């Protein structure tokens, strides 16, 4: 067996998009996960052939019922264990309609979603079911404290043209 076929046979990789979404009222989009897993961010697996941005838009609509535009990239995160790799993008988004109401009827994707302030998010941590994880709080705090949001031009497909700098 050659190296390529061994690699293809044993190597597993997942792509995941997480979406940190803020509306013009300064509220953050929180999703109540199914099975009492707690409040978290919209996000999930990239379904090829879609890319990370398309997955983020789709997952936000499915889990939160909100149509968004991905505006920037916050971070790439990776996890490599043995023959398994996971690449997670943390994306920044804003709703297309800042007055669109999040989903309120439970389905297999999520129980509900809502817009919350940072203060409300902190309170939600102590109320049942709590947080699934700290990502929404950590990224919302990061953005509110002036952390940079990177341009989407740094997230592109392999072989895409290199963007040329603007000349003064």
Supply the pTM of this predicted model.
0.90
Contact assessment for residue 28 and residue 22, using Cβ atoms and an 8 Å cutoff: yes
Strand order in the sheet with 112-116: 38-40, 28-33, 112-116
Listed as ranges, residues in the chain with pLDDT below 50 are 1-2
The confidence score (pLDDT) of residue 1 equals 42
- In angstroms, what CA-CA distances link 62 with 26, 80, 91? 22, 28, 16
Contact assessment for residue 72 and residue 139, using Cβ atoms and an 8 Å cutoff: no
Q: Which of 111, 134, 110, 112 is nearest to 121 (CA)?
A: 134
Contact assessment for residue 55 and residue 14, using Cβ atoms and an 8 Å cutoff: no
Q: Which CATH class is domain 3-150?
A: alpha beta
Domain ranges of the chain: 3-150
The confidence score (pLDDT) of residue 97 equals 98
């Amino acid at each position: 067996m050659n190296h390529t076929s061994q690699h293809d046979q044993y190597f597993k990789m997942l792509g995941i998009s997480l979406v940190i979404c803020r509306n013009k009222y300064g509220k953050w989009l929180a999703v109540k996960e199914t099975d009492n897993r707690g409040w978290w961010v919209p996000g999930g697996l990239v379904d090829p052939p879609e890319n990370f941005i398309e997955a983020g838009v789709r997952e936000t609509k499915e889990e939160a019922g909100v149509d968004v535009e991905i505006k920037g990239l916050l971070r790439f995160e990776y996890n490599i264990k043995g023959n398994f790799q996971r690449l997670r993008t943390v994306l920044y988004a804003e709703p297309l309609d800042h007055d669109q109401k999040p989903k309120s009827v439970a389905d297999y994707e999520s129980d509900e979603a809502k817009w919350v302030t940072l203060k409300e998010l902190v309170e939600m941590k102590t109320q049942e079911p709590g947080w699934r994880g700290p990502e929404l709080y950590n990224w919302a705090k990061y953005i509110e404290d002036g952390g940079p949001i990177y341009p989407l031009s740094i997230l592109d497909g392999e072989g895409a043209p290199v963007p040329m700098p603007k000349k003064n």
